[in-house]
Amino acid sequence: MPLTHTRAFRVRFDECDAYGHVNNAVYLRYMQETAFDASAAAGFGAARYTAMGRLWLTHDTQIDYLRPLAYGDTVAVTTWVADFARVRSRRMYELRQAGSGELVAQAHTDWVFLDAASRRPAPIPADLIRAFFLDEPAPQLKREPFPAAPPPPPGPFSVRRRVEWRDVDTAGIVNNPNYLAYVAEAGFAVSEAHGWPHQRMEAAGFGILARRHRLEHRRPAGYGDELLITTWASAMRAASGVRHYQITRAADGELVTRVHSQYVWVDRRTLKPIRIPADFLADFAPNIAGAGPTVPS
């Protein structure tokens, strides 16, 4: 039986976006803080990892958004370790609205255990594994491969982003949730480039909400790195679609992170799904892989 840990967060005003909802990246920050607390509660806090010369880095994260949170809400994040492999571990998360207990998001993250000096994977010690399970560890879970992206269309869209000091953490690399902030900015930029700035969507009465993000980190990026974020869409259906993001280091073209995101088009007032407007699809056709008629969902 795994050791579970719960931490509550009250949503701050500066954590909300123009829709009045908690920004997607903030959910990952809640998860990260809860994971750190859970590790400390098991006897493995930051100081102990420093003494060991070890650290954990995220490799793969998937989060499903079930309903939005707003300013003043309190969310309870519960986390537990699902399994351990030789150098990695999967941690699960449930985010529930305090009071009602309603599930607002669920997620998992694969963490990789590293030697702090070499940044190479290191075997997870037995005493660490025992600290997170009250009895025998669970068998290793099957990992689903990262979703394959279709080849980009003739009109992939790219933006450049320089890693700022505020983006990096104590390990000296871009903190995991900031990649969601990067792709969100790229998403707004590609919309504006195709004639659909936020103001036009607002006037048309619809919004685009994330339903799932999957992030896979391949190489770290650090302060001062210039990143190239390339994005295109696919799998457009009646009310939903997929957007692919590839984040590479501009200096050498090395893949840093890739993101597979599922979005749904909603009525701004009711938040209920709507059919994607035909003129929106027509304007975005150059950026959609295999653009053609929408497929009923």
Q: Start-end ranges of CATH 3.10.129.10 in the chain?
A: 1-139, 152-297
**Identity at 199, one-letter amino acid code:** Q
Half-sphere exposure of 38 (CA within 13 A, CB side): 23
Least Cα distance to 224 among 249, 258, 255 occurs for 249
10 Å CB burial of residue 145 (0-12, 13-18, 19+) is exposed
In which residue are the tokens 């000296």 written? 172
What pLDDT is recorded for position 293?
A: 42
Please give the backbone phi and psi of residue 245, each rounded to the nearest 5 degrees, phi first.
-130, 135
CATH for the stretch 1-139: 3.10.129.10
Helix extents (H) in the chain = 24-41, 46-52, 126-132, 176-193, 198-204, 278-284
Q: Which among 199, 190, 195 is positioned nearest to 18, based on CA atoms?
A: 199
> What pLDDT score was predicted for residue 126?
94
Q: Inform me whether the pLDDT recorded for 155 exceeds 90.
A: no
Residue 8 has phi, psi (to 5 degrees) of -105, 145
Please state the rounded mean pLDDT for residues 262-286.
96
Average pLDDT, the chain: 95
Architecture of the domain made up of 152-297: Roll (3.10)
Percent of residues, the chain, with pLDDT higher than 90? 92
Give the mean pLDDT of 275-286: 96
pTM more than 0.85 = yes
Contact status, residue 286 vs residue 155, Cβ threshold 8 Å:
yes
67 exposure class (CB count in 10 Å sphere: 0-12, 13-18, 19+): exposed
**pLDDT, tens only, 116-151:** 999 999 999 999 999 999 788 778 899 999 999 999
Q: Is the pLDDT of residue 291 over 70?
A: no
Mean pLDDT of 202-228: 97
